């Protein structure tokens, strides 16, 4: 009667740097990394479209959304987004788009705090339409005085602050 012994030449091929006793652990770590990588790709793919809808994309064009977000950040109703980008622009040379801007109400420091509140769902659309209507009405002179009742509103000075 003969007994069969395991063939020492039929060992399993392991990835480089993996000891046989850690093979199972490396397999689970690799699987976890694949799952997390897939989650990051999915999150990245959905972030921009969902934020665009949140800010009002179907109603506002991407340039209008950009302009409204800059108006919020800089508390300046005259800021417009310029979609063209010069080849010699920052970071390759020249000054940044808003480098000399002074109207932002942020608290600067090691950890800067923005001076504006969060933008609620579709708030940019409502403000954009109200301010465009107000600017088109050309009713800025009353009794010889300049009256701009929506100036703070259109400059995003009174954006509600708070958590959420």
Q: Per-residue pLDDT tens for 39-91?
A: 999 999 999 889 888 888 888 888 888 888 888 888 777 888 888 877 777 77
123-137 vs 62-74: helix axis angle to the nearest 10? 90
Q: How many domains does the structure of the chain reveal?
A: 1
Cα 116–Cα 121–Cα 125 angle in degrees, nearest 5? 85
Structural domain contains residue 78: yes
Q: What is the mean pLDDT of residues 115-122?
A: 78
Per-residue pLDDT of 19-41, as tens digits, reads 888 889 989 999 999 999 999 99
Phi, psi of 46 (to 5 degrees): -95, -20
Domain carrying residue 128: 56-82+105-154
At 16 the pLDDT is 82
């Amino acid at each position: 009667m003969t007994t069969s012994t395991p063939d020492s030449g039929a060992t399993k091929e392991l990835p480089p740097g993996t000891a046989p006793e850690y093979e199972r652990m490396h397999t689970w770590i690799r699987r976890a990394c694949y799952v997390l990588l897939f989650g990051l790709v999915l999150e990245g793919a959905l972030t921009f479209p969902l934020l665009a809808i949140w800010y009002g994309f179907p109603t506002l064009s991407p340039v209008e959304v950009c302009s409204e977000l800059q108006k919020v950040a800089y508390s300046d109703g005259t800021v417009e987004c310029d979609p063209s980008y010069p080849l010699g622009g920052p970071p390759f040379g020249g000054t940044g788009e808003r480098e000399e801007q002074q109207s932002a109400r942020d608290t600067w420091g090691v950890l800067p705090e923005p001076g504006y509140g969060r933008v609620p769902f579709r708030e940019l659309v409502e403000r954009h339409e109200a301010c465009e209507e107000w600017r088109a009405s050309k009713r800025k002179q009353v009794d010889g005085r300049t009256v701009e009742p929506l100036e703070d509103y259109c400059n995003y000075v009174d954006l509600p602050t708070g958590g959420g």
